[in-house]
Amino acid sequence: MKNNQALIENFLEAKFGEEGLSENTILAYSRDLEQICKKVGKSLVDVSQSDLEQYFIYLKNSGHSKSTTARRLSTIKQFYKFHVEKGFLSTDPTAQLTGPRSSKPLPKTLSVGEVEALLQVAKIMEGLNMSGLEIDV
């Protein structure tokens, strides 16, 4: 697995040096890649799409959040994309992988009272011919 460490270091050094990512981001990438290596139990050169699919099924079944799963998928996808682009690896086992959809909270809506208050302010402004002025509410 020494090969994994060299591949991971190449990736992290490039991310830090070329893209200027923060140390915290680099540490998160490092942890993600080490955890993937540990769970898959293979050299990253030999990992297949099926191996990674099983890993992400494991994450889902063990209660990891969608955001954690999505971050790890992003990390491993960037890792393989980097190594294929640089010519260190010939195939990208993540090319067909898709992540969980994040559920974004709906925007907060106004209450009936808030809407009525806004309409009242608009009527007052119109009556005073102040429609173009800003109001702090």
What are the structural domain ranges in the chain?
A: 2-85, 105-137
Q: Residue 131 — pLDDT band, cuts 50, 70, 90?
A: low
Is pLDDT larger for residue 1 or for residue 13?
A: 13
Q: Residue 52 — pLDDT band, cuts 50, 70, 90?
A: very high
pLDDT higher than threshold 90 for residue 84: yes
**CA-based nearest residue to 52, from 30, 67, 69:** 69
- pLDDT at residue 83, as a whole number: 93
SS3 15: helix
For residue 21, how many other CB atoms are within 10 A of its CB? 15
Q: Residue 16 — pLDDT band, cuts 50, 70, 90?
A: confident
pLDDT higher than threshold 60 for residue 19: yes
**CA-based nearest residue to 49, from 114, 100, 57:** 57
Cα–Cα separations (whole angstroms), residue 28 to 59, 76, 77, 115, 118: 16, 12, 14, 44, 45
pLDDT higher than threshold 90 for residue 129: no
Residue type at position 67: S
Predicted structure pTM score: 0.69
User: CATH homologous superfamily for 2-85?
Assistant: Tyrosine recombinase, N-terminal domain (1.10.150.130)
pLDDT, tens digit, 9 for 90 and up, residues 100-128: 665 677 788 889 999 999 899 888 877 77
Instruction: Locate 38 and state its tokens.
Output: 């540990």
Share of the chain above pLDDT 90, in %: 41
